[in-house]
Amino acid sequence: MESLQRGSLFRLFWLFVFLLEVSSRDEEANGGAASEDRSSLLSFMAGIVSDPEHALDSWNASGIHVCHWSGITCRNLTRAVAKLDLSGRSLRGTISPALSGLSSLTILDLSKNYFQGQIPPEIGSLVGLTQLSLAWNLLQGKIPDRLGSLRRLVYIDLGNNRLSGDVPSEVFCNWSTSIQYIDLSNNSLSGKLPMRDGCELKELRYLLLWSNRFTGHVPPVLGNSSKLEWLDLESNFLGGDLPSDVLGKMTYLQYLYLSYNGFTSHDGNTNLRPFFDALANSSHLLELELGANELSGTIPANVGDLPKNLTQLHLAENHIHGSIPPQISNLANLTLLNLSSNLLNGTIPIEICQMEKLERVYLSNNTLSGELPLALGSLPHLGLLDLSRNQLSGPIPDTFANLSQLRRLFLYKNNLSGTIPPSLGKCVNLEILDLSSNQISGWIPGEVAGLRSLKLYLNLSSNFLQGPIPLELSKMDMVLAIDLSSNNLSGLIPSQLGSCIALECLNLSSNILEGHLPSSVGQLPYLQSLDVSYNHLAGALPTTLQASPTLQQLNVSFNDFRGNVSSKGAFSFLTEESFLGNPKLCGSVKDMRPCPRKKRGHVLILSILLSLVAMPLFCVFGYPALAVKARIRRQVSILHDEDRLGDEEARIDGFKGKQQYDLPKISYRQLVEATGGFGQSSLIGSGMFGQVYRGVLHDDTKIAVKVLDPLRADISGSFKRECQVLRRTRHRNLIRIITICSRPDFKALVLPLMPNGSLEGHLYGPRGGPSDGPLNLTQLVSILSDVAEGVAYLHHHSPVRVVHCDLKPSNILLDEDLTALVTDFGIARLVKTNDEQASNVNSSAYDSASCSSTDGLLCGSLGYIAPEYGMGKRASTQGDVFSFGVLVLEIVTGTRPTDVQFSGGSSLQEWIKSHYPHNLEPVIEQALARCLTSGVVQPDPAPSITAWRVVIVDLIELGLMCTQYNPSTRPTMSDVALEMGRLKQCLSSPSHIREGLVGNSHVSNDFAIGLSFSA
């Protein structure tokens, strides 16, 4: 018995020794693996040339295990690196082959950065990878063959790079056992689709190859991917018959995009039936896009057999002929139907009106005939109806008044007759109405002319309309263009047209209008193009036209105008062609007949006598009247910002028929060349929605390119139209948009480059560098006054009301004269979160906020955000006032609102408030010290210092009033602008302060009502 016990103890002893040895070996192995992983990661970091978000700071820290580095996830037991995720960190550099040393890696995500160079073939040795994402970078070259060794891949995304060349079929086929997601979209890949016979991608669910240069047919072997849900081959050079046999096996398909290729229909491009039959079993299909191919034949009746879940059907820009089959109404869930730009004929089937979920209908540019179905007015969700460029006849149905959601109605270039139904005035959301080039007669109904919702254009040209121009037209204070040309309109041009304050283009030509051209038309603040030719107008041309700062095109030909026309002002760019057929006109315009000289001897004597009589009268009556008028004009000067506007950049080309508002065309390639490929050396800033790059175009124009980041928020589908809206919001203190560059994968605003940078650069200097130069108090007050004027215009006087949402020093740019221009105004309008609805540009959006704290967008930057936003309140003008107040206090104290001294729950404004009113002296002294060190003290410094002290106190009080907790107690930005203007004037005339201001509280009495702070 004792021997047995001794034997057991002996065995237990050796087992313990064995376990110790195994544990020691495992620790040694794990330590070696960690050492190798660390070495590989450090080699990878050596290839990073820029880390603006300091994502890799922890990688440099000593004593921190690699598993605790940013972006690293390790296995629990072995502590080997299993996941490297550095997506969206704005990293720049190259991808090091040393990553192949991470032998346990299963997930590698370097997407949404700025990596350049080629994909290292060594990544193919990471045989344990299940997910690989290098998307949204600047990678070039071919896809390495060795990536085919990644046999465990489930997900690969190489989209949105600059990859080129053929894709080896071995790469695809070696993934076939497990791969579910493949995205190679938006590159420059070429050759045939990389799938050979025997390549079975049986688990594939997503195949995205859009926007490349693939050629040839869709390979039949793709039909083995029966689990496909999303197939996107759009924008390639694929051809042959539509791949019916391939698609017929994909019963789970939801999204099929084949547009912008060269596909044809079956049986010699005559039969679409087999293709629709093949999709009948894809019961989950939601969207089908076949536009811009070479499809011919008719739309077969079995189009109604497509899956009932289908919401979008695109067949536009093909060669499809015949009639629209009534069976299409079986697609009861369709929200978008696009059959435009084909060869369709016959009538619009009444059955379409049974598709009650339709929101957008495009049937334009066909040869459809017959009358407009009355039942179209029964579509409750219809927002866009485009039936233009057909042969439709008959009247416009009264039932269209029931289309409460209708925003755009295009009926131009048809044979419509009858009158314009007054009931159209009930379409209160209508933004575009184009009835031009028809045979419509009668008067223009006042109900339609008074549609205040019209925001883009009204086109009734080339009809048989008669009667006067309705006075109700003046209610269209948001419309960009009005074209009533080529009708039989008579009577006077109403002076009330001057109320259409957003109007850029007005065409009243080829009518029988008479009387004078009202001076109010020339006073339209944004008018670019005016055509009143071929009428019976008479009298002198209004001087307001010549004084217009925006007018670019003018045609007053073939009327009865008279008088002297000078070549000054807006007329300096015009020639005689703008004035033809007016024999009583003369002047100095190019090629125009000069006016004859008059005998002036007796006139001179008479003028002297009159002046001797008039001078005393003027001194008694005229001068006081002028003084009163000047005072009134100063009080309402903010309503006339157009007098300070620069030349307008938006252009409208030939407003006839359906109009387009063209922007200067700058291509994506030009932007790439101008900015050096959006390289790090061109980066001058980054913000909430993207990065800003410096660039120089071929003509040496210096530009700033703001590239909107689709990774932080989805870019709105109405991007271009929204930019057009923002282009109308012009003021000398708002940055202007030169143009936009919009592609499916890239959206950017092109702005003028400001030579003096941002206010942030002058206050603190760019990151890691010195400031752009100190600014004295006079300059800072002038800048604040400019900012207040610009934001007041956005809030109160812009044709499109905008809430800025992000006022801060980096969003204030300075031109060569240190005039401040507010930038990023309305950028929040262009961005929406994933869960936001499709459009936020209805009429209410113009009068409310640009963003909301509940939208998932941060309405501002930390330190400048109004407190009510944190409670879910919508962004408002009061929120901008709060941000301006923080900006004022920041400039006074020279301290960022996020400075560490305000940590622990306090804020800049609360800190200032704790010193107000009796303990402000340290704050004032610090502000004065910065003024004294800026080197701008005058030879007699005492008056300047006195003036500065007074203004500094006023600024503190203004900042505290703007940052009051209750939004309703804050002043409006108009009041703020007036107060800043007063302070600016005070600094320019210090004696005014000494004579007219007493004590330390100098804010205007009417402005300071309700100001109450506890010490």
The two three-digit tokens of residue 403, written as one number: 């289309």
Which of 109, 806, 824, 975 is catalytic? The answer is: 806
The two three-digit tokens of residue 319, written as one number: 């060669």
Cα–Cα dist 304/75, whole Å: 54
Query: 3-state DSSP call for residue 506?
Result: strand
The two three-digit tokens of residue 993, written as one number: 């302060």
Cα–Cα separations (whole angstroms), residue 825 to 382, 624, 730, 742, 829: 32, 41, 11, 19, 9
Rounded to 5 degrees, φ, ψ at 531 are -130, 110
Query: 3-state DSSP call for residue 117?
Result: coil
Burial class (CB in 10 A: 0-12, 13-18, 19+), 430: buried
Burial class (CB in 10 A: 0-12, 13-18, 19+), 838: exposed
Cα–Cα separations (whole angstroms), residue 217 to 187, 223, 260, 297, 752: 19, 13, 14, 20, 46
Asked whether residue 706 is marked as a ligand-binding residue, the answer is: yes
DSSP character string of 651-703: EE---SSS--EEPP---HHHHHHHTTTT-GGGEEEE-SSEEEEEEE-TT--EE
State the CB neighbour count (10 A cutoff) for residue 694. 17
Question: Using an 8 Å Cβ cutoff, are 483 and 505 in contact?
Answer: yes
Q: What is the DSSP letter of 255?
A: E
Cα–Cα dist 232/235, whole Å: 9
Task: Give 94's strand partners.
Answer: 116
The two three-digit tokens of residue 463, written as one number: 């009809």
What region does 478 belong to: left with phi over 0, alpha with psi -120 to 50, or beta?
Answer: alpha
Task: Give 140's strand partners.
Answer: 118, 162
Cα–Cα dist 231/206, whole Å: 6
Is 806 a catalytic site residue? Answer: yes
The two three-digit tokens of residue 792, written as one number: 């007041």
Q: Which residues contact 165 (CB under 8 A, 6 or more apart)?
A: 141, 142, 143, 189, 190, 191
Helix-strand-coil split of the chain, %, nearest 5: 35, 20, 45
Q: Which residues contact 2 (CB under 8 A, 6 or more apart)?
A: none
First CA to last CA across the chain, in angstroms? 92
Annotated binding site: 706
Binding residues for ATP: 706
By annotation, the residues acting in catalysis are 806
